[in-house]
Structure 1
């Protein structure tokens, strides 16, 4: 039986050292990054071993469903509170930072965007649809995330962490019929080719959906679960190989940082042990995974839904941002925390760019080192929050 697979190829690469942890010449790294291609093909399982041995193939994985890291507590905001800045923008210190994201290109891979929203006036929004449903945003998730990263003020309320960003790449990878790992990989490739410095992804592998699709085809549940697990592992490796190629390209083209949501499947409010680890693709090596924090009278605490084991945290509860059709909407989730971290990453990228020291290693180090725990409530678990609340550069 044939199944759709994603094939990641690197033509002209002299060897696979960069994928095996070995040393490689600069010319090899540059050739590998520049020649990367993404293919989707129907393949027979029996042909996979031979394909994997091809010298230009660095990863092969079955196409599996991807879904939103679905937000919680969705509410329309008819009139903002008597504040002029959202609590998330203040919590990360973006309101006091001298940097705005000017000169930095961000990409948001999500449900699309309502580019006509007043929050995006003055932004060169470049859209590409990977779903077949057309540009735009019928869901609202992508518009909300984009607003948190680079949105301009709406009705006197500052919603954007990096409102000085002038160019944004919007990859619509999730539509009414969800999405797939193939669309995400293709969108990452597109974003890097078009100059993205920061790529924000609030999405994850739909493992239960993959199992269900296999059982609908007549496969017994135990076999379906095992097969889905094989695909899950292969896709984690696929995203890791893609991240390695992005990292290689960052040395020769523009610096590109991959940021992903940890996921909302934990239920710590029901029982302390009801928590699971970061979901793919954020769990893959080469991604910055993001947990969600909430605001309390005594400080910040981890949101009960936030998956554990993330690298850094951002504001993720009661976040107000742009809504399709105009106006504002409130959402909660690691989906909301991720664009806060992406926005702060853009501020750090601008700071490093201004001093001529922007590269992936330094940007990653500065971003993770910015995590602060001094504002967290006593008794927090470091494994839940990573390095702490992401913080914007202050000078």
Structure 2
């Protein structure tokens, strides 16, 4: 199956051709097909940003079709709500499909005005595009999950394929025996990225989910992930991608609050953050024989613009003494002389974001400046610090944080860089590694910094290491 190109202009010569009304007599060549396309069909192609020349040249095309459901009336005396909509979708889909002889329905999105077609002839393609019941089309684009870029970028695959021989057999460096605590919006453990999840079972990567931020009614919200965009789920998937044999515990510290403009916002109150840290402290294996071996905690959250170190979370120091690395995002306000709290805490590892690919024509949103104006960056290269990443002398380390896909969700930010580091700590502080090195949290951090790739932030000249997990692991053999 050939790929359909996007963002390619139509040929001027073809656009100047006149539309010929025909009964779809013979459609054997791209030109014959084009001459039978209606103006509305061409508009659908323009709106989908599809190169019509390549589309018509292909022997077959995979297309996601959205139908015009409003063209069909349904007697709703016996049905209401969704059932009526579903019946209307079914009617219009049947009408369109009945005209197509060389087209396969690869997937029907039941209850939705969409279907996924493989159109195997130019004649069917013309019919489909001309059909007034077809509202729009989209090409089927195979998008490579960016986690598959970020993991090789930090050399995680080489790390995961390295092993030592132990009394129990081969041990691969995938974080086995470690637990990462994710302080975020929650975790949708039903997603396949986390295994077959009866939480706490061997087949599930999630050992527990707990809520620390009460809603206005004094109760938890009962949501697996408070954020409609699934921020906590994405963050959790990244950490697990780096340390696939580690376990996760989700500590939901966010709730919905109304700001002074009457807008609902998803925020993490400090009482919830303190509560989650206290939970880790009390349930750590060093204090509770039946507790969890939490080796890192991830806080992809924060606010403010701190230019000096803070010391408001004393528990971070206690947790560090217990062997827990507190990994925190620096924030996305593109400050070049400050970072957010709690990344500014003296016992936090502050993580900024870099690009893991090169794209000289991309348009990257950088946030808003002090005048509330949107700012953009045009083009980036591998190991460029992202334009939105907060940076200052308080920054510790960098990791990939642009267009990161995990658990089926794609996001960008220092929020995505941070779990790469939290997962890296899970690998480097797993029991088999610690038994050999006796490294403290500070020792592990020093390894990451000494073995990272040196990156200079062009905005302020600050040089910091970017995570190289394999080089860090190899440093053990030399110690």
- Normalised by the length of structure 2, the TM-score is 0.51
Does 1:183 find its partner at 2:272? yes
Shift of 1:391: 2.8
Is residue 398–residue 464 contact of structure 2 (8 Å, CA) maintained in 1?
Answer: yes
* C-alpha spacing 1:91/1:146, structure 2 compared with 1 (3 Å): same
Distance 1:377 1:262 in 2: 16
Does 1:200 find its partner at 2:274? no
Distance 1:378 1:329 in 2: 28
Residue aligning to 1:355: 436
Is residue 456–residue 464 contact of structure 2 (8 Å, CA) maintained in 1?
Answer: no
Following superposition of structure 1 onto structure 2, how do residues 16-165 of structure 1 map, counting pairs within 5 Å? Answer: 81-82=143-144, 86-97=148-159, 98=162, 99-121=173-195, 122-132=204-214, 133-139=221-227, 140-150=230-240, 160-165=241-246
Give me the CA root mean square deviation.
2.8
Is residue 169–residue 191 contact of structure 1 (8 Å, CA) maintained in 2?
Answer: no
Deviations 1:355-388 (A, max 9, x none): 1514223222223323212xx58968552x5223
- Which blocks of at least 5 consecutive residues in structure 2 are unaligned? 1-139, 163-172, 196-203, 215-220, 258-266, 285-293, 359-380, 475-479
Deviations 1:112-139 (A, max 9, x none): 0001111111313311101122351031
Is residue 192–residue 256 contact of structure 1 (8 Å, CA) maintained in 2?
Answer: no
- Which blocks of at least 5 consecutive residues in structure 1 are unaligned? 1-77, 151-159, 208-228, 267-273, 323-327
**Deviating 4+ runs (over 4 angstroms):** 82-85, 376-382
* C-alpha spacing 1:339/1:382, structure 2 compared with 1 (3 Å): farther
Is residue 299–residue 377 contact of structure 1 (8 Å, CA) maintained in 2?
Answer: no
Is residue 107–residue 168 contact of structure 1 (8 Å, CA) maintained in 2?
Answer: yes
- Normalised by the length of structure 1, the TM-score is 0.61
* C-alpha spacing 1:363/1:120, structure 2 compared with 1 (3 Å): same
Following superposition of structure 1 onto structure 2, how do residues 191-340 of structure 1 map, counting pairs within 5 Å? Answer: 191-195=280-284, 196-205=294-303, 236-239=310-313, 241-248=314-321, 250=322, 255-266=323-334, 275-297=336-358, 298-309=381-392, 310-322=395-407, 328-340=408-420
Structure with the greater relative contact order (CA < 8 A, sep ≥ 6): 1 or 2?
1
Distance 1:142 1:80 in 2: 25
Shift of 1:95: 1.1
